[in-house]
Structure 1
């Protein structure tokens, strides 16, 4: 469904990280509802390069864009020459900045800051020159072990969360200036839904548990999973927030979640019910204690007030809508 009265037809839209999970969903939202929009995707498509933790440096995958009719550019957001070309060859109306190193277990702090923080400010300068409204991906990882999930109470416990705090700080500094554009940062909580599969091990536990169950395996949960509560949000509500952020009542940084914390046990129970397969549960030790959030729950009062955002999906509804795609992926992609 359309989430705004803005007419994006004949507008030029840049989506960085557009071959990734959220970026590709944004691309198809615009393509489906605004066929005359000019959509430019920038993504550092995957190759075989990995971080020291063994995970891929880029999760961008062409299969997330099958059926896309816009323009695709393969490139690194850290490439200054590439950014100069974007500045000179296009005139953007909207920039959705989803590109980032989003793996919370990455140890390369220097590259994390360069990619997530410095490149963001470079892109922001282009947006100001183009008079382009900006919506960018922040993260609930900024809160870390904080027990208050409101902007201003961040306490990151990994380099990724820290990098997103630094992005938000840059935003707040720029908003003190007299700008002709809006800038909105969206602190995503635990997002799940179609086109996340190619994030591999960093994809949501919804799809990972779903495939464990379809394999006939017993889902593996961390010990105490009934007390590990997160704010899980379906991708459609994340897209809603991005679109509504194009015309905010007030620029700033906002939480994007449901406002309700649910357990990993809930995910498995719902999946087992929807798939009609129940092999019980197996519990394992949590190896990430010290860098792991045991509770997140978004305070979305300001998001509702300034973005007119209202989550539409309870976890039961989101997983039910996701089930056909989980089954398709299992049949076509899971080896």
Structure 2
């Protein structure tokens, strides 16, 4: 039986664990105990650990595992003053993890990077070969971790890797009370008839991918590719203003939105090219944004 160890039991990690379990894999997932643990399939083994603790994490890594790093690590709103703490808490533990995976000879190390931040602003769809230009600390960390993985494999020849630059997944089980992901939060506010505070520019552009498409694309890519960097994205650019309009149309309620300017630098234009995903895997995400939002609303 194939084995996968998923690090991080949050939104993406928990969905991946269930998906792999349904494909017949032996699945272990490690991280903090959260609301997502309650959503895990009965056959998924959950280990409550501090992922910053190298000893706890190393004990779970086994030879021939596919290891998927699905933890968000630092907060997406972190600023320069947070870097020292981030290095102590997350950078060092990530380096230890790479060493352990190489020493144990895992079959593949999969890193979920952030297509929404590593490219910075781009008016044309970003390809994997484009120069990276993160504009915040979160994106900078993802770029640094990507390069650590590549260098470790180059030097050791014992860390087959796959770097997946994921856009903005939505759908499935999300906790709107955490204010994580604009789509579930908007839907929740609309249905509850609550005001929504939006920090940023409604004309900013994003790429959104439905959770089912993300899971299938990730699974197929992990099965077929190695030592590659691939965008996992819908390839469709949508403004926040358009997202708000789609949600309001699906729910049938106008959302009271309070607009505020963000103090943090944000990416205004994030457009992604997913042609490499199509070329290597033969997969094209099938769910339109309207279809995905409609599904969430109908299941609410």
In the TM superposition, what whole-angstrom CA distance separates every residue of 1:303-323 from its partner, at most 9, and x where no partner exists? 322343321111111112222
Q: Determine the C-alpha separation between the residues in 1 that align with 2:121 and 2:90.
A: 21
Q: Shift of residue 232 of structure 1? A: 1.1
Q: Determine the C-alpha separation between the residues in 2 that align with 1:23 and 1:223.
A: 27
Matches within 5 A, 1:247-326: 247-277=223-253, 279=254, 282=257, 284-288=259-263, 291-325=265-299
Query: TM-score if structure 2 supplies the norm length?
Result: 0.87
Q: Determine the C-alpha separation between the residues in 2 that align with 1:193 and 1:295.
A: 22
Determine if the alignment matches structure 1 residue 13 to structure 2 residue 4: yes
Q: Aligned pair in 2 of structure 1 residues 308, 111: CA closer, same or farther (>3 Å)?
A: farther
SS at match of 2:60: helix
Equivalent position of 1:7 in the other structure: none
Q: Aligned pair in 2 of structure 1 residues 252, 114: CA closer, same or farther (>3 Å)?
A: farther
Q: Determine the C-alpha separation between the residues in 2 that align with 1:295 and 1:78.
A: 33
Determine if the alignment matches structure 1 residue 158 to structure 2 residue 133: no
Equivalent position of 1:55 in the other structure: none
Equivalent position of 2:192 in the other structure: 215
Matches within 5 A, 1:219-238: 219-221=196-198, 225=202, 227-238=203-214
Equivalent position of 2:20 in the other structure: 30
CA contact (8 A) 1:221 1:264 kept: no
Matches within 5 A, 1:185-196: 185-196=163-174
Q: Shift of residue 92 of structure 1? A: 4.3
SS at match of 2:262: coil
Any stretches of 5+ residues in structure 2 without a counterpart? none
Equivalent position of 1:40 in the other structure: 28
Q: Determine the C-alpha separation between the residues in 2 that align with 1:224 and 1:99.
A: 27
Q: Determine the C-alpha separation between the residues in 2 that align with 1:111 and 1:33.
A: 39
In the TM superposition, what whole-angstrom CA distance separates every residue of 1:13-67 from its partner, at most 9, and x where no partner exists? 10100x2101110111122231xx3211110235xxxxxxxxxxxxx643333x4
Cα RMSD after superposing both structures:
2.6
Aligned residue pairs, count: 294
In the TM superposition, what whole-angstrom CA distance separates every residue of 1:256-311 from its partner, at most 9, and x where no partner exists? 1111110112222222222222x2654523224x5111111112222322343321
Runs of 4+ in 1 over 4 A off after TM superposition: 218-224
Equivalent position of 2:83 in the other structure: 109
Which of these residues, 55, 60, 71, is aligned with residue 81 of structure 1?
A: 55
Q: Aligned pair in 2 of structure 1 residues 102, 302: CA closer, same or farther (>3 Å)?
A: farther
